[in-house]
C-alpha cells in the first residue's frame, strides 16, 4: 500500500510546487544569461540542489523552457478568463486581463522572457508554444477590435496596439524587483490603466463628431481653472 | 603620400559604414541566440566574411555589444534633440522623440535588445552603458513630468510610465520584419500616438474638475449618435 500513498494527491502537489520553483529559478537564469548561456547546472546552483535532484523533476533544459512558456501563457489565458467572468466594457475586460497577467508574471517571476527562435525548442514544442502565444494575442486583438466597434476605442490597428501592450508587459520582467519600491499590484494597475487609456475615446473627440463648435468652450472652461 | 590617402576621410567613412554593418549583423545574432549564445564566428558568418576580416574592425564580442548599446542610445538622444528643436507641447515632443527612436531602431536594426547583466561587459563599459541609458530614461521622465505639471497629462508615476513606453519600444525589435506588412514609419507613428495618448487628459476629465454635473449631458450627446 505504501506505493499507493507515494502516488497520493499530496505527493503530486509537492511535485508540482517543486516544478514551479524550478521554473522560477530557470526563468531567472534565462533572463540573466539567455537560454543558450544557461546550463541545467546553473539552474541547480540557483536552487541550491544537485543536478541529479533537478533531473528528478524535469527531463532537460528544453523542457524547462517549454514549461516556462506554458506557465506564462496559462497566466495570460487565466487573466482573460477572469476578465470575461467579471464582464463590463471591452476596456474594463482588457484592463482586468492585462492587470492579472502583469501582477502574476511579476510576483511569481514565472514568465519566461526568452524569445523563441529556431533551435531552442524542437519543432513540435516550438509549434505548441507559438500556437498558444498566437491564441493569446488573437484574444487581446479581438478585445481591442470590440472596443473600436463599440465606439469606446478610437480606430486603430489592433495588431500593432497589442504588440505595444505586450512589449510593455513583457518588459516588466527586465526591470521589476520584488525588493523594489513599487509593488507588483501597483505596477499592474498603472500599466493596465495606461495601456487601455491610450485607446479610449475622449470626451472632446466624441463631441467633435456631433458638433465641432462644442470644442472651444469645453477646452476654455477646463483650461482656465 | 599613399599612407595619407589611406587615412583620408573617405576611408574613415568606409570604416564607419562597415562597423555599422557589423553592429546590425551582431544585433541580429544577439536577438536570435542571446549574447552568450553568439560567437564572433556567428557574426562573421552572418556577414559572409572571415573572422579575421571582422577583427580588423572590432576588437571583441564585448566591444560589439558595447557599440550596439551606444548606437541605440545615440538614436534615443538624437530623437530627443530633434524633438526639442521642433518644440511644441510636452506631448508633441514626447511623441516626436519616441517616433524617431522607434523608426530608426526598426529600420536600421541597430538597437541591441540584449539586456545588460553582470558578466557581459567589463565593469567600466557596463557603467558607461547604464549611465547613458539612465540619462535617456531620465530625459523621458522629465518630459512626462512636464506634461503632468502643465496639466496636459494626467497625474502618474513617470518612472513606471516610461518603463511601459520603453518596453513597447524595445519589443519592436522582437517582432518587426523589414519584409512585414507594416512599414517602420507607420509603426513609429502608431506607437508614438498610442503611448502619448495614454497620458493625455481628456475633455470629460477636465470638465469634471470644474463641475461634475457636466459629464452626463456630454456623454449622452456623444454616446447616442
pLDDT tens digits, B161-190 = 999 999 999 888 888 888 888 999 999 999
* Range A2-223: architecture per CATH: Orthogonal Bundle (1.10)
Query: φ and ψ at A16, to 5 degrees?
Result: -65, -45
How many angstroms separate the CA of residue B142 from the nearest CA in chain A? 18
Q: How far apart are CA A176 and CA B16, in angstroms?
A: 37
Q: Where are the domains of chain A?
A: 2-223
Inter-CA distances, A191 with A75, B81, B158, Å: 17, 27, 12
Task: Report helix angle B61-86 to B40-47, nearest 10.
Answer: 60
How many angstroms separate the CA of residue A109 from the nearest CA in chain B? 17
CB pair distance less than 8 Å for A191 and B156? no
Q: Which residues of B are less than 8 Å from A190 in CB distance?
A: 156-157, 160-161, 164
Report the predicted TM-score, pTM, of the whole model to 2 decimal places: 0.82
Superfamily (CATH) of domain B61-223: Tetracycline Repressor, domain 2 (1.10.357.10)
Q: Please tell me the predicted confidence (pLDDT) of residue B124.
A: 92
Task: Report helix angle B9-33 to B158-175, nearest 10.
Answer: 90
pLDDT digits (tens, 9 = 90+) for B209-220: 333 333 333 333
Grid-cell match 523542457, residue found: A63
Q: Which residues of B are less than 8 Å from A198 in CB distance?
A: 194-198
Cβ–Cβ under 8 Å, residues A191 and A98: yes
Cβ–Cβ under 8 Å, residues A195 and A170: no
Q: Please tell me the predicted confidence (pLDDT) of residue A119.
A: 64
Give the closest of A35, A203, A209 to B204, CB-based.
Answer: A203
How many angstroms separate the CA of residue B7 from the nearest CA in chain A? 40
Q: Cell digits for A171?
A: 518588459
Q: From first to last of its 225 residues, what are the pLDDT tens digits of chain A? A: 445 555 678 877 888 888 888 988 988 888 777 787 789 999 999 999 999 999 999 999 999 999 988 888 999 999 999 999 999 999 999 999 999 999 998 887 655 555 555 567 888 998 999 999 999 999 999 999 999 999 999 999 999 999 999 999 988 888 888 888 899 999 999 999 999 999 999 764 443 333 333 333 333 333 333
Q: Which residues of A are less than 8 Å from B167 in CB distance?
A: 167-172, 174
CB pair distance less than 8 Å for B33 and A34? yes
CB pair distance less than 8 Å for A207 and B219? no
Q: How far apart are CA B183 and CA B185, in angstroms?
A: 5
| A18 membership: H or E segment, kind and range | helix A9-33
Q: Which residues of A are less than 8 Å from B157 in CB distance?
A: 182, 190
CB pair distance less than 8 Å for A115 and B169? no
Q: Cell digits for A48?
A: 541550491
Amino acid at each position: 500500500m505504501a506505493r499507493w500513498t507515494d502516488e497520493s494527491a499530496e505527493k503530486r502537489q509537492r511535485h508540482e510546487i517543486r516544478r514551479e520553483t524550478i521554473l522560477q529559478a530557470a526563468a531567472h537564469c534565462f533572463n540573466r544569461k539567455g537560454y543558450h548561456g544557461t546550463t541545467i547546472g546553473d539552474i541547480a546552483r540557483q536552487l541550491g540542489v544537485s543536478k541529479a535532484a533537478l533531473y528528478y523533476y524535469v527531463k532537460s533544459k528544453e523542457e524547462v523552457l517549454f514549461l516556462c512558456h506554458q506557465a506564462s501563457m496559462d497566466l495570460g489565458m487565466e487573466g482573460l478568463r477572469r476578465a470575461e467572468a467579471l464582464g463590463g466594457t471591452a476596456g474594463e475586460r482588457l484592463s482586468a486581463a492585462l492587470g492579472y497577467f502583469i501582477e502574476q508574471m511579476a510576483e511569481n517571476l514565472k514568465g519566461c522572457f526568452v524569445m523563441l527562435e529556431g533551435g531552442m525548442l524542437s519543432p513540435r514544442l516550438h509549434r505548441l508554444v507559438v500556437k498558444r502565444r498566437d491564441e493569446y494575442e488573437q484574444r487581446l486583438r479581438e478585445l481591442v477590435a470590440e472596443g473600436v466597434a463599440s465606439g469606446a476605442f478610437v480606430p486603430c490597428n489592433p495588431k500593432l496596439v497589442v504588440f505595444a501592450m505586450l512589449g510593455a508587459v513583457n518588459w516588466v520582467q527586465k526591470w521589476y524587483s520584488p525588493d523594489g519600491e513599487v509593488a507588483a499590484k501597483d505596477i499592474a494597475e498603472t500599466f493596465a490603466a495606461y495601456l487601455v487609456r491610450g485607446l479610449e475615446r475622449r470626451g472632446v473627440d466624441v463631441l467633435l463628431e456631433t458638433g465641432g463648435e462644442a470644442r472651444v468652450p469645453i477646452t476654455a472652461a477646463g483650461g482656465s481653472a
